[in-house]
Structure 1
Amino acid sequence: MEDRVRFICKRTVVSTKPVEPGQLYRLSVLDHIMEPNHIRLVHYYRSSKIREPGEITKKLRESLAYTLNCYPIMTGRLVKEIDGTEEKDQELNRQWKVRSNDAGVRMVEARTTGTVDEWLRSVNKEEELKLVHWEDMYHLPYYWSTFYVQVTEFESGGLAIGLSCSHLLADPVCAMMFVRAWADLTLTRNMMGPPLYHPLPPRRFTNHRLSNNNQLLSHYIKSCSITAQPSNVTEDPIFTVTLLFPEPLLRAGESEPGLSPFEVLAGLFWVCVSGAKGKRNELMDMSLCFDVRKVLRLDKSYFEIQNITKRLDYDAVMDLIEWLGSSNNPISNGSDLVCTNLENMVNSHPMIFEKDLILSHVSCYVEGPVAGGGQVIVLPSRSGEGPMSRVVMVSLPQREMVKVLENELLQSFSPFDAKLT
């Protein structure tokens, strides 16, 4: 397919107000375990208005600079430092921190032909990722931007806003909240929800014993003990499909009142993917990613993975955090199916940059070793599809994906390609 995306330039956008130079932001143990991964988001906006080339990009570039005033971590750079000790003696214990230096974020400007709707009818993953620039860290991390923004104008109307970042510094929830704050500032010149930065809760008393009944902790201790088995089969390429599940078939039946769309879809894909992987009378392990900030009495600044949705309390999460802080074993989810809940990130507060720009579709990719057993991301659908309809992005090896899409249980929910509408 001919390359439809034409790159114009790559700039550095800095905040309009200077920050305190040299300030260090320390990262939590939850941040550090996600270091090998990065996030890519693409927000598509329809528009009936045809603008001059570069007009909307210039406006967004200017409002981005003001937005960054509230995000000094985004404009800083990663460093590894040891406080008060010789680096040669502590090399293995060095961890990333963010040094505030106003270095800014990289912004890529691009254009493509047609409209957003025409693009969505034909785009695949490889081409979609051209709308969200990302660069891996090279040998000089102090000059490497941990966040990239890309604004792509559609020549016949519409816009794509891409944001990529290291999972070390943000999770998908925080990344979407930044886009929302940027949109608010662009539209109203007022940030309705400025970020608040809080550390994790302090460690509990030293005599506090970890709970033997903590299912969350037990899962991750087991996960760390599992090593990947060598395979003689040539590795399948990973495919990603995006499905829209209509509202009527997601409404919980009378026999199971109170189920959320996420719980229905997580269970559905747990069964279908387990079958595709050859599990006949059992289910594969699955980790669920959803927001537990309220459990920890924090604002939206942290991310957590777990495999229980009920009976999750403060001590259960703190057990995991304290175990991670004292363990030398990194978590490896090489065999789990990872299911992420982002269903409330758009409808609760629309991301509107201008009144004529209507959010049409959101794509989210979490790339890296986080989901060796497959990945399912549940997103809200666009407005007008019903409050319970959902978009699901599924990433699996090709042969397993074919089996999942042919599964009769999945077909009974009548999903269809979310990017075709």
Structure 2
Amino acid sequence: MSQIHSRVKPITKLTAVSSNPSVSGRVYPLLAADHALARHSAAVVMYYSENPFGSFILDPMRESLSKILTLYPTVTGRLTRTENGNWAVKGNDAGVRVTMTKVGSSLDEWLRSADSVEERDLAAFDDMPEDPYIWSPFRIQINEFEGGGVAIGVSFTHLLADPTSATFLLKTWADAHRGRPVSPPLFTRRLSLGDGEKIPNIATKSTTFYANKSKLDDHIVSPTKMSSVTFKFSNTTMNQCLSKIKPHCPNATPFDFLASLFWKQILKIKSNSPKDGQNNNNNNHSISICSDIRNSFQSSNSQRYYFGNALHISQLTIDPKEMAENELGHIVELVHNHLERLGEEEEETWSAMEWLESQKEKDGRYVMPFTMYGPELSCVSMEHMMMKKGNENESLSYATKFVKDSKPVHVSYNIGNVEGEGLIIIMPSNEGGLARNVKVMLPSKREVDELCEDQAILSFNPTMILGGRDE
């Protein structure tokens, strides 16, 4: 727990194990793309207005968790080193640590008053230790609020999975609890572009960006402290926003609009800020965009999914003068076109994977991980979480229902050890449709306070929750 006087009080700890033993001793090697993310941790917190658990220790909820853990040997296993020193997961059914807590407030009060520090208390946000061989790389925390609400937090090392994978894990658990059919995840990945008979092209913009990023922070030993806040934009507001910018970008997505809006306003705040020890560098007109690439190596109509890291980070740079002098619609068009080109140029995406795999020592050991979220301003897209349900768009996050018709009232995604200029995460909202939540993490509370008072952002009437002091 991060605070001495936290409202989150641990009640009990236990271990959830697979209902069917896995193949003991089987080793699941981790790829270069996984190793590159090893500096970071991650967490997903799902808030429910009703508590579906009862007494978890004897409840069917624990039975359903044990049932689905059989499908996730990399979740219940433990980290180990292979002969060449790279990380792998050894299946040994050691299980997942589960913590039960009581929260000293109601759910509504928490969402209004909790800060970014307190939210971390809901998910056992723990960095990987130097010797993680008996450490549970995934941890589940069940937090009961006064009045019946509950938050389920899943925290994990980014070495093993991304936030989308953790969402699938929770969705599988919820489906199993309701007696719905579940499908095992995929644990294989196409490693090479094409048929593997030709030398892949690793001379692309993506590989140049990754190479430069890997050289930036060898000296960094501790993360930048961040302050954060979450903005909620309604479906009505997003419809109006996208309609207004149609002349500039008729096919703009909510992500295109919100990423552009917050990028532009954050840069404005930073340019007007005194140099108070923050990472004010010459690249503050650049943003790195983190997007999901699962569809690149699995069928889009498959009922199964890849469990692991399936992320591609690309950089978009705009001249500061161009940013300052152009309307928001112009920036939206640039962001949209950037992502559209990435979607069309599969080689660009795969070249980054190939470059990471090529960066090995002579003995086959991968190079040291580097900061993937930073030091430049970074923005994570969760647009891939949206699914079609009839004529409506529904998010996978909010389809995670342990009880029929009882979807989460809020889902929060968190990344640990963010460096430099800050992080923006654009997520689905419980309202559905085009509604989105935007979590912003910046290097100081002053910057967050200024963002909360920014008139360009306030003109869209967002609701602000879970904002507060330095982490």
TM-score in terms of structure 2 length: 0.77
Aligned: 1:128 with 2:119: yes
2:433 to 367, 380, 387: 387
1:166 to 157, 160, 172: 157
**Secondary structure at the residue paired with 2:98?**
strand
For 1:395 and 1:171, the matched residues in 2 are separated by 18
Name the counterpart of 1:263. Answer: 256
For 2:235 and 2:42, the matched residues in 1 are separated by 28
For 1:415 and 1:228, the matched residues in 2 are separated by 39
Aligned: 1:300 with 2:332: no
Residues 40, 55 of structure 1: alpha-carbon distance in 2 compared, 3 angstrom cutoff: closer
8 Å CA contact retained: 2:42, 2:125 = no
Shift of 1:185: 0.6
Residues 273, 15 of structure 1: alpha-carbon distance in 2 compared, 3 angstrom cutoff: same
* Aligned residue identity for 2:238: L
Residues 24, 70 of structure 1: alpha-carbon distance in 2 compared, 3 angstrom cutoff: same
8 Å CA contact retained: 1:285, 1:335 = no
Residues 404, 135 of structure 1: alpha-carbon distance in 2 compared, 3 angstrom cutoff: closer
For 2:291 and 2:91, the matched residues in 1 are separated by 29
Name the counterpart of 1:244. Answer: 232
Residues 357, 218 of structure 1: alpha-carbon distance in 2 compared, 3 angstrom cutoff: same
- Cα deviation digits, residues 216-272 of structure 1 (max 9, x gap): 223223323445899xxxx98421101111223323123121110011111111112
> What is the RMSD of the two structures over their aligned residues, measured on CA atoms?
2.9
Question: 297-306 or 107-116: which moved more?
Answer: 297-306
Residues 304-343 of structure 1: pairs in structure 2 closer than 5 A: 304-307=311-314, 308-312=338-342, 313-327=345-359, 328=367, 330-333=369-372, 334-343=374-383
8 Å CA contact retained: 1:176, 1:345 = no
Question: 168-177 or 396-405: which moved more?
Answer: 396-405
After TM superposition, what 4+ stretches of structure 1 lie above 6 angstroms from structure 2?
279-282
For 1:109 and 1:356, the matched residues in 2 are separated by 24
- Cα deviation digits, residues 143-202 of structure 1 (max 9, x gap): 1000000111224112110100110111011011111111101112532x4312212333
Question: 97-106 or 403-412: which moved more?
Answer: 403-412
Aligned: 1:39 with 2:42: yes
Name the counterpart of 2:460. Answer: 413
For 2:219 and 2:90, the matched residues in 1 are separated by 39
Residues 216-255 of structure 1: pairs in structure 2 closer than 5 A: 216-226=206-216, 237-251=225-239, 252=242, 253=244, 254-255=246-247
* Aligned residue identity for 2:376: D
- Cα deviation digits, residues 99-156 of structure 1 (max 9, x gap): 1101000000112244322221221122222211133334542210000001112241
**Secondary structure at the residue paired with 1:340?**
strand
8 Å CA contact retained: 2:284, 2:377 = no
* Aligned residue identity for 1:391: N
8 Å CA contact retained: 2:102, 2:144 = yes
Residues 282, 306 of structure 1: alpha-carbon distance in 2 compared, 3 angstrom cutoff: closer
Question: 312-321 or 162-171: which moved more?
Answer: 312-321
**Secondary structure at the residue paired with 1:309?**
helix
Question: 180-189 or 29-38: which moved more?
Answer: 180-189
8 Å CA contact retained: 1:114, 1:157 = no
8 Å CA contact retained: 1:296, 1:314 = no
For 1:31 and 1:236, the matched residues in 2 are separated by 22
For 2:376 and 2:25, the matched residues in 1 are separated by 40
For 1:149 and 1:292, the matched residues in 2 are separated by 26
Question: What percentage of residue pairs aligned between the two structures are identical?
Answer: 33
Shift of 1:407: 3.0
* Aligned residue identity for 2:456: L
For 1:71 and 1:59, the matched residues in 2 are separated by 19
Residues 364-403 of structure 1: pairs in structure 2 closer than 5 A: 364-369=413-418, 371-383=419-431, 387-398=433-444, 399-403=446-450
Aligned: 1:290 with 2:291: yes
Residues 342-357 of structure 1: pairs in structure 2 closer than 5 A: 342-345=382-385, 347-349=394-396, 350-355=399-404, 357=406
Residues 380, 418 of structure 1: alpha-carbon distance in 2 compared, 3 angstrom cutoff: farther
* Aligned residue identity for 1:338: S
* Aligned residue identity for 2:382: L
For 1:343 and 1:210, the matched residues in 2 are separated by 28
Shift of 1:344: 4.6
Q: Which runs of 5+ in 2 are unaligned?
A: 274-281, 300-304, 315-337, 360-366, 387-393
Name the counterpart of 2:185. Answer: 195
8 Å CA contact retained: 1:271, 1:283 = no
Residues 356, 54 of structure 1: alpha-carbon distance in 2 compared, 3 angstrom cutoff: farther
Residues 305, 284 of structure 1: alpha-carbon distance in 2 compared, 3 angstrom cutoff: farther
Question: How many residues align structurally?
Answer: 399
- Cα deviation digits, residues 299-355 of structure 1 (max 9, x gap): 433322322412223211221111112225754354211111124537344110013
**Secondary structure at the residue paired with 2:380?**
strand
**Secondary structure at the residue paired with 2:101?**
strand
For 1:314 and 1:98, the matched residues in 2 are separated by 29
**Secondary structure at the residue paired with 1:222?**
helix
For 1:335 and 1:356, the matched residues in 2 are separated by 41
Name the counterpart of 1:74. Answer: 75
Name the counterpart of 2:25. Answer: 22
Residues 155, 408 of structure 1: alpha-carbon distance in 2 compared, 3 angstrom cutoff: closer
Name the counterpart of 1:90. Answer: none
* Aligned residue identity for 1:275: K
For 1:36 and 1:271, the matched residues in 2 are separated by 28
Q: Which runs of 5+ in 1 are unaligned?
A: 83-92
Shift of 1:279: 8.2
Name the counterpart of 2:321. Answer: none
TM-score in terms of structure 1 length: 0.86
